[in-house]
Structure 1
Amino acid sequence: MTTVAAAVVELLAEAGARRCYTVPGESFLSLIDEVDRHPGLQLVSVRHESGAAFMADADARLTGVPAIAMASRGPGSSNLAIGVHTAHQDSTPMIVLLGQVDSQLRGREAFQEVDLTAFYTPITKWAVTAERAEDVPELVARGWRIATSGRPGPVAIAIPSDFVDAEFSGAVPPPVAEPATLDTAAVEELAGRLLAARRPVAIAGECARPARDRLVAAAEHFGIGVCTSFRRQDAFPADHPNFLGHLALATPDATVDAVTGADLLLVIGTRLDEVTTQRYRLPAPGTEVVPIGRYGHGGIDADPADVLAALARRGGPARPVDWTQVHGAVDAWSTPPAGDADGGVHPAAVIAALHRHLPPDGIVTNDAGNFAAFLHRYWRFPPTTTQLAPVNGAMGYAVPSAVAAAVAAPERTAVAVVGDGGVLMTGQEIETAVRLGAPVVVLVLQNGMYGTIAMHQARDLGRTSGVDIGLVDLVRWAEGLGAAAYGVTDARELDEAVRRAVTGRRPAVVAVRTDPDIITPTATLTGLLERVPV
């Protein structure tokens, strides 16, 4: 005889989960205990539930296997929700276990009670509350299948606190999802359409990244020009002649024109979100669109890796398409400026320094904020570098996700690129990294404001309000959390600080005072304020 908690933990370990991220809560004590005691699982206690969810998201994206995020009842579950929403929009498989009030107290607005099924339904693939203790393992098994089938995503299972210690003697079906079979006839038909197309273009996203080499081979064989979807810059090598750019908040005209002019558009392993489609202006009317991946909107419903491998293996001579002009325009657009800044370090110089010192197999996580425009524009992703970034624009993502990356892949260098707004939201997870010995590097572009909001206010209103952030001494702050720390106020100090942080193999923070006036790669805050009459 075993308990519900023990059965659930064993099931998750057998399915392939390796880490559980949580802030401990009294409504799931036995689950915490069972995870900690299981030889195949690591319990990672974090400083805030949002960090737990962001870490689980990053872990799953990096490994391809769902991680577990746990939180307790109303307050903990509310804190966790931002990272679950991130996983939902990013199509990341995640198992969310939520402690709930005792079953006999439900429905009476008991202490910290929230209807967790109703709360989590809009931000998950599936949300459910267990009604009987004996149902819990089966619900978790079903949740694993749902999270990893079709378009991946998070599932949430709420477990009343009196259920986890209940005895369990039933059998649990295996949680592994059935793989989709490849329709070889559909692939052959697609190959014919690619050969007949004049300007075939692909948009590659999150589920195309594990098949990057196969995508390169297929692109070369069929002459496909490849764009990457928003914050999926690692899905195709930026130095490849068929690379047509990154569909982001700021996108070169040449990239948009290439997608607009495509007569056949492959959408590989991604959804066509608002940013990728440039506010739903793409694809152009009349463009023939073929989705590849398990996103439930036609096309070829199979693992993109299998489809791309079949295309790459197809015999016959390669059919080249000349993408030189588009690729050259994207290259020129992505070249960092050479000028200096007056009121601090130029943000582009920070990105250039990171590019010089990060190993080719590094992991870059980035937060939301105006600083990210410089990363997206000037970072040229080598073929072996991984990017982890939230398509829902959640602030606070970078530091927790980099910590998870350093835990899940300690042999690689994980760097969080973040603004002072984001680092002051979740930077306390540096303590988690120090405690676990995870050698994460946090590169902070500190301009003393919520830059994105200041930009919008200046452009639309001609003034700013509520955007100031005090110039916190992030060096002393980081040292207080146990990390190495380097302060940079002059561009000449950048290389040495970044080099020491990257090679030190311990948690480290590089705090760079950037020029607050340089608000985007193409605009200054002063210039925007002057354009709008007050």
Structure 2
Amino acid sequence: MPRTAGQAIVDTLASRGVRRFYTVPGESFLEVLDAVEQHPDLQLVSTRHESGAAFMAEAEGKLTGRPAVAMATRSVGAANLMVGVGTAFEDATPMVVLCGQVEQSALGRAAFQEVDLPAFFAQVSVHGETLHDPARAGEVAARAHRAATTARPGPAVVALPADVLARPAPDGGPEVVPGRVAAVGPEPADAAEIAALLRTARRPVAVLGSGAQGAWDDVLALVERFGLGVYTAFRRQDAFSNDHPAYLGHLTLRTAPELLGPLRDADVVLALGTRLGDTTSQGFTLPAPSARVVHVDLDPRTLTVPVHLAWTVRADVGAFARALAGLPGRDGAGPGAVDWSSGHAAYLRSSDAEAAAAEVRAARQHDASPGGGVHPVEVVAALERHLPADAVVTNDAGNFSVFAHRYRRFTRPRTQLGPVSGAMGYGLPAAIGASLAAPGRPVVALAGDGGFLMTAVELETAVRVGAPVLCVVFVNGSYGTIAMHQARRFGRTAATGIGPVDVAALARSLGADGVTVTDPGDLDDVLAAATRFDAPRVVAVRTDPDVLVPGVRLSGLVR
């Protein structure tokens, strides 16, 4: 039997290192499904919803730097993929998106479930096209893979008319070989001038985003050569070791004010692989107007930010760091070249989960009113006691994540998977994708009950494919983030309640282990058992619904 266009697409992606295809199967791309299932090097993962498939593929791409494939059928499946595809776009995560399409003869006739798929995804993809000629199937797949992995990574979309996939793809034509992609670095003269700027800076600071995550060692050498203080961008805490003496903190939602002083005082700011979006820039207020900003990124679209730019450098962060690290650095180079000790000490105090949990316990002993549940910081403190440093932590969106970001310290690369997009429902599917991509590594998902319930059915996927993830659910019966905003604006809430779902029983009904914790004294015993990572498990912790974020309670806002 001659190779079909569907087989050619799968073979081409497999030859480039793709290993998993996540999907809800559909009749419009049968040849692709069959080709993946029959390929000895590939895994076909059937999920319960297309959003779960896209989140799993996004997490694998973010963890490994290599794209996975998210697949769906026509307009309805594509619409369900959209939240995960949009997350990959905002997070600069490589992903290949394959969507079945109506037959070519029906295109443009408003056929069943027809939509112009490349146009549909245009604002959240780095590439989009429709396969029309089966002889070019390998070429189209290769182009999508290249678009997803070069420049600023992101999702590349290919629409696949069902009748084209079944046609023969002639063998013997020119093979589309991947080749190597040269790292883009700064011009030598520019590198020399930027190095001179860093050498003479009084308080030089670096902000590290997604572009720095794959250049851990190169960035470390750059930091130590020029004595830079270091911040990590929103949900990029694993871009630099948090225990390094030059680490100053995470630019997140509600960053502790005492951590921002070094960034406000910086005279030179090196922004590496970050968009300096509104969260990272603390509402576009930082870096300060007086700072000279050197912005380095492969995507020119990220190089126009509302700050004073001394330099915009279109370059790969690793290549940029290597170029500067080879030039003369600051006298007495190393973390002590500039004294960041007070800033790092402030970070350590702010992120001390044990100290914060002790304060909660002390306050509880002096409070005569009945307890409202486990405090979120107690959950994070217990996790810190039981999780190894190389554990991969995925997180959903919601107020609970503020505690996770503040009190979890990341000291290894590729250990944090969080959606910059703020997509709810991400945590559990992302953990499954991470577990499949890195078998043997402990993977834990953190979610609120609102986000968890959006994709909880993917526990069935975890059980079926043998992904031994742990999902810790902060159950407070509320969309806490929205309740906080409503209470601040109106003094009351609307549509934020979540019913009394037995999350642990739900987990058990889907084949996973499930346990509920209502007493903080039980956390250690439960987590000690749950962190064996030998099966999919859910720990549902009943948290205090009055606690919104550190230092803010709902009762203090409602009038």
Instruction: Give me the TM-score of the superposition, normalised by structure 1.
Output: 0.96
Q: Which residue in the other structure is 1:43 paired with?
A: 44
Identity of aligned residues (%): 49
Q: Which residue in the other structure is 1:262 paired with?
A: 266
Query: 1:401-460 deviations in whole A, cap 9, x for unaligned?
Result: 000111111111000000000110011111111111111000000000111011111111
Q: Which residue in the other structure is 1:362 paired with?
A: 391
C-alpha distance in structure 1 between counterparts of 2:332 and 2:467, whole Å: 45
The offset of 1:184, in angstroms, is 6.1
Among 327, 351, 357, which residue is 2:344 paired with?
327
Q: How does 1:300-379 map to 2 (within 5 A)?
A: 300-314=313-327, 317-319=331-333, 320-336=337-353, 337=356, 338-340=359-361, 342-379=371-408
Aligned residue type for 1:163: V
Whether the 8 Å contact between 1:27 and 1:160 is mirrored in structure 2 is: yes
The offset of 1:69, in angstroms, is 0.7
Aligned residue type for 1:357: H
Query: 1:325-376 deviations in whole A, cap 9, x for unaligned?
Result: 2222222222342214621000000011111101111000000001111111
C-alpha distance in structure 1 between counterparts of 2:249 and 2:185, whole Å: 29
Whether the 8 Å contact between 2:518 and 2:541 is mirrored in structure 1 is: yes
The offset of 1:183, in angstroms, is 4.0
Aligned residue type for 2:360: G
C-alpha distance in structure 2 between counterparts of 1:2 and 1:436, whole Å: 29
C-alpha distance in structure 2 between counterparts of 1:121 and 1:4, whole Å: 24
Query: 1:289-344 deviations in whole A, cap 9, x for unaligned?
Result: 22233122374433322332344454665331011222222222223422146210
Q: How does 1:402-441 map to 2 (within 5 A)?
A: 402-441=431-470
The offset of 1:394, in angstroms, is 0.2
Of 507-516 and 37-46, more deviation after overlay is shown by 37-46
C-alpha distance in structure 1 between counterparts of 2:360 and 2:183, whole Å: 52
Secondary structure of the structure 2 residue equivalent to 1:506 = coil
| Count of matched residue positions in the alignment of Structure 1 and Structure 2 | 530
Query: 1:177-211 deviations in whole A, cap 9, x for unaligned?
Result: 62234346143333222111111111111221222
1:111 is the counterpart of 2:124? no
Of 477-486 and 180-189, more deviation after overlay is shown by 180-189
Q: Which residue in the other structure is 2:521 paired with?
A: 492
Query: 1:94-139 deviations in whole A, cap 9, x for unaligned?
Result: 1000101111111121111112122100110122223333343322
The 1:318–1:34 alpha-carbon spacing in structure 2 relative to 1, beyond 3 Å, is farther
Aligned residue type for 1:173: V
C-alpha distance in structure 2 between counterparts of 1:504 and 1:113, whole Å: 43
Whether the 8 Å contact between 1:203 and 1:229 is mirrored in structure 2 is: yes
Of 328-337 and 239-248, more deviation after overlay is shown by 328-337
Aligned residue type for 1:98: C
1:398 is the counterpart of 2:427? yes
Whether the 8 Å contact between 1:187 and 1:311 is mirrored in structure 2 is: yes
1:201 is the counterpart of 2:208? no
Q: How does 1:100-499 map to 2 (within 5 A)?
A: 100-169=101-170, 170-176=173-179, 178-183=181-186, 185=188, 186-296=190-300, 297=303, 299-314=312-327, 317-319=331-333, 320-336=337-353, 337=356, 338-340=359-361, 342-383=371-412, 386-499=415-528
Whether the 8 Å contact between 2:63 and 2:414 is mirrored in structure 1 is: no
Whether the 8 Å contact between 1:144 and 1:175 is mirrored in structure 2 is: no
The offset of 1:487, in angstroms, is 1.0
Whether the 8 Å contact between 2:91 and 2:420 is mirrored in structure 1 is: yes
The 1:410–1:244 alpha-carbon spacing in structure 2 relative to 1, beyond 3 Å, is same
Query: 1:134-175 deviations in whole A, cap 9, x for unaligned?
Result: 343322211111111111111111111111111111434224
C-alpha distance in structure 1 between counterparts of 2:6 and 2:506, whole Å: 39
C-alpha distance in structure 2 between counterparts of 1:233 and 1:293, whole Å: 18
Instruction: Give me the TM-score of the superposition, normalised by structure 2.
Output: 0.91
Aligned residue type for 1:448: G
C-alpha distance in structure 2 between counterparts of 1:495 and 1:456, whole Å: 33
The answer for unaligned runs of 5 or more in structure 2 is 304-310, 365-370
C-alpha distance in structure 2 between counterparts of 1:410 and 1:180, whole Å: 30
Whether the 8 Å contact between 2:10 and 2:35 is mirrored in structure 1 is: yes
Of 303-312 and 489-498, more deviation after overlay is shown by 303-312
C-alpha distance in structure 2 between counterparts of 1:258 and 1:222, whole Å: 16
The answer for unaligned runs of 5 or more in structure 1 is none
Of 9-18 and 128-137, more deviation after overlay is shown by 128-137
Whether the 8 Å contact between 1:57 and 1:67 is mirrored in structure 2 is: yes
C-alpha distance in structure 1 between counterparts of 2:66 and 2:508, whole Å: 34
Secondary structure of the structure 2 residue equivalent to 1:249 = coil
Q: Which residue in the other structure is 2:13 paired with?
A: 12
C-alpha distance in structure 2 between counterparts of 1:293 and 1:475, whole Å: 44
The offset of 1:287, in angstroms, is 2.3
Of 183-192 and 364-373, more deviation after overlay is shown by 183-192
C-alpha distance in structure 2 between counterparts of 1:504 and 1:279, whole Å: 39
Secondary structure of the structure 2 residue equivalent to 1:503 = coil
Aligned residue type for 1:365: T
Whether the 8 Å contact between 1:271 and 1:295 is mirrored in structure 2 is: no
C-alpha distance in structure 2 between counterparts of 1:318 and 1:70, whole Å: 53
C-alpha distance in structure 1 between counterparts of 2:237 and 2:548, whole Å: 22
Of 406-415 and 214-223, more deviation after overlay is shown by 214-223
C-alpha distance in structure 2 between counterparts of 1:313 and 1:434, whole Å: 49
Aligned residue type for 1:189: E
Of 61-70 and 308-317, more deviation after overlay is shown by 308-317
Secondary structure of the structure 2 residue equivalent to 1:231 = coil
Query: 1:246-270 deviations in whole A, cap 9, x for unaligned?
Result: 1111112243332232221111122
C-alpha distance in structure 2 between counterparts of 1:207 and 1:276, whole Å: 14
Whether the 8 Å contact between 2:213 and 2:414 is mirrored in structure 1 is: no
CA RMSD of aligned residues (A): 1.7
Whether the 8 Å contact between 1:360 and 1:384 is mirrored in structure 2 is: no
